[in-house]
Amino acid sequence: MTNEDIFKKLIAHCKEYGFVFQSSEIYDGLSAVYDYGQYGVELKNNIKKYWWDSMVLLHENVVGIDTAIFMHPTVWKASGHVDAFNDPLIDNKESKKRYRADVLIEELLSKFDAKADKEVEKAKKKFGENFDETLFRQTNPRVVENLKKKEEINVRFVKALNDNNLSELKQIIIDNEIVCPVSGTKNWTDVRQFNLMFSTDMGAAADGALKIHLRPETAQGIFVNFLNVQKSGRMKIPFGIAQIGKAFRNEIVARQFIFRMREFEQMEMQFFVKPGEELFWFNKWKELRMKWHQALGMGNHKYRFHDHEKLAHYANAATDIEFEMPFGFKEVEGIHSRTDFDLAQHQQYSGKKITYFDPEQSESYIPYVIETSIGVDRMFLSIMAGAYCEEDVEGKDGSKETRVVLKLPPVLAPIKLAVLPLLKKDGLPELARKVIEKLKFDFNCQYDEKDSIGKRYRRQDAIGTPFCVTIDHQSLQDNSVTIRHRDSMEQERINIEMIEKIISEKISMKELFRSII
């Protein structure tokens, strides 16, 4: 199965099992806008809780806020979004499809990497244990040539982006014969800038309405409240402010399901530090954030850092945490050292002094900022992509069957426990209900009595439920039940009183947190 097939299956699975639906589907949908279904919302809420608690519970110097989506229009002038929150757009004249010029070039660059990796893989197989990958990469003519070509294009690309040189971006596309994937032609328009902010009118009066933007990021709500939080919370530097909320971007190319949406949710934390200490904190948060991802147990090799070569003019370090999606390694989270740019801009535009008096140094300064910014939806996608498995298992009559199972980290799974009476009679449903009545205050339980036990297990596998408990006639006699573990499919007989303990241990966020501090 190709990665594309896997991705298609994942999208279909999200719909079939109530995780993600296209928005307004009965009206043929709205492009790049999605709704979360009954299981999707549980998973999403669990992701948000994992993030929120890891910020505000684990760090006594990080507090949370919740700011409005609508903000004063000048906020977006000060932040630079009115003038510079643009993507370079290019159209193909034949297919009439629209692309981001930078993404077309980035895709070309990754093809050179992929070609080099392919050569390495081939050689690895050929030479076995004696293979020296570093030496091979430095000396194999095909690898060297691919990487050299990539580097040449990359140097031109970075310079064009830094100089904001749109005609050079187009020239790179022409020179490298990048074609439209739909029409297959090089018939491109010029590259032009496109502002990604949505706007709307606030107020009823036709002439007095105020043009405002839907926030394209949650961070500005934090910056403009820096003084409020610092003073009311008597916060001492270094400290952080965390926020989870919706953001809106009129993305040019909105594809890849919930990877790039026009309405999405962010979890951002701005950490305010003393100037000069920012790189220490940048590295610290880099490490902490990677641990947070890896603690979920999806496989450490699925994550990597991608340090930025092109830094925004105000940043002095930036990296992305990428996850291996079915369509390659992609950014899930950005970590940026933003200097004092944001607070200084708001100080200038608002005319209000935004400084911090450092009692230890007896001096005032504008704090520097380290930002960690992660998309809830991208995180959701990475978890679903990492969890989706198709396994060959033995069916009832010994034949081969495929089981689709979501190997979600138990702590994030929407339903933790399914309680299944073996038969719909003899008092088994009543006992099953009693188990749920007892446990429903601790975690999300589901009752299911329809179809064979095998089918019920499959349904729970498909939504990622880590535990199924089966109630049978023996349960009525000796208070024992069968507990089935999702990933191993192993079953064990335990006393009913043990269910809570076994499950609580496996779904405990506390344990995860212990492993990341």
79 binds ligand ATP (CB under 6 A): no
- One character per residue 278-307, x = contact with ligand ATP (rule: CB under 6 A): ------------------------------
Least distance from C-beta 108 to ligand ATP, angstroms? Answer: 16
Whichever of 176 and 256 has its CB closer to ligand ATP, that residue is 256
Give the C-alpha separation, 396 to 394, whole Å.
7
378 binds ligand ATP (CB under 6 A): yes
Query: Token match 């069957």: residue?
Result: 401
| C-alpha distance from residue 320 to each of 218, 286, 311 (Å) | 18, 9, 12
User: Binder to ligand ATP among 154, 266, 446, 475 (CB under 6 A)?
Assistant: 266
Size of the site for ligand ATP (CB under 6 A): 16
User: Binder to ligand ATP among 81, 150, 213, 249 (CB under 6 A)?
Assistant: 249
Asked whether 316 and 337 are in contact (CB, 8 A), the reply is yes
The window from 152-160, 177-185, 282-290, 367-375 that contacts ligand ATP (CB under 6 A) reads 367-375
Site for ligand ATP in 429-468 (CB under 6 A): none
Give the C-alpha separation, 208 to 192, whole Å.
32
Q: Could you say which DSSP state residue 209 is in?
A: P
- Tokens representing 488 are 């191993």
251 binds ligand ATP (CB under 6 A): yes
Whichever of 343 and 381 has its CB closer to ligand ATP, that residue is 381
107 binds ligand ATP (CB under 6 A): no
261 binds ligand ATP (CB under 6 A): yes
Least distance from C-beta 334 to ligand ATP, angstroms? Answer: 4
Least distance from C-beta 280 to ligand ATP, angstroms? Answer: 22
Least distance from C-beta 69 to ligand ATP, angstroms? Answer: 15
Q: Which residue pairs, CB below 8 angstroms and at least 24 apart, start in 405-408?
A: 405/461, 405/462, 405/464, 405/486, 405/487, 406/13, 406/461, 406/462, 406/463, 406/464, 407/464, 407/486, 407/487, 408/43, 408/383, 408/464, 408/466
List the one residue out of 504, 505, 510 whose CA is nearest residue 438: 504
Least distance from C-beta 284 to ligand ATP, angstroms? Answer: 19
Site for ligand ATP in 181-220 (CB under 6 A): 217
Least distance from C-beta 369 to ligand ATP, angstroms? Answer: 14
Whichever of 252 and 408 has its CB closer to ligand ATP, that residue is 252
Residue facing ligand ATP at closest CB distance: 375
User: Binder to ligand ATP among 373, 465, 480, 482 (CB under 6 A)?
Assistant: 373
Asked whether 495 and 513 are in contact (CB, 8 A), the reply is no
Least distance from C-beta 22 to ligand ATP, angstroms? Answer: 15
Say how many C-beta atoms besides its own lie within 10 A of residue 104's C-beta: 22
User: Binder to ligand ATP among 377, 448, 461, 472 (CB under 6 A)?
Assistant: 377
Give the C-alpha separation, 208 to 337, whole Å.
39
Cis peptide bond upstream of 326, omega within 30? no
Whichever of 168 and 331 has its CB closer to ligand ATP, that residue is 331
Whichever of 375 and 464 has its CB closer to ligand ATP, that residue is 375
Give the C-alpha separation, 332 to 307, whole Å.
13
Say how many C-beta atoms besides its own lie within 10 A of residue 157's C-beta: 23
| C-alpha distance from residue 357 to each of 78, 347, 361, 370, 458 (Å) | 23, 15, 8, 19, 60
Any idea what the Cα angle at residue 383 is, between residues 98 and 54, rounded to 5°? 115
332 binds ligand ATP (CB under 6 A): yes
Asked whether 188 and 170 are in contact (CB, 8 A), the reply is yes
Least distance from C-beta 219 to ligand ATP, angstroms? Answer: 9
The window from 283-291, 369-377, 391-399, 403-411 that contacts ligand ATP (CB under 6 A) reads 369-377
Least distance from C-beta 228 to ligand ATP, angstroms? Answer: 24
Q: Which residues contact 220 (CB under 8 A, 6 or more apart)?
A: 71, 75, 76, 79, 342
Phi, psi angles (nearest 5°) of residue 74: -70, -25
374 binds ligand ATP (CB under 6 A): yes
Say how many C-beta atoms besides its own lie within 10 A of residue 461's C-beta: 23
Task: By CB under 6 A, name the binding residues for ligand ATP.
Answer: 217, 249, 251, 260-261, 264, 266, 331-334, 373-375, 377-378
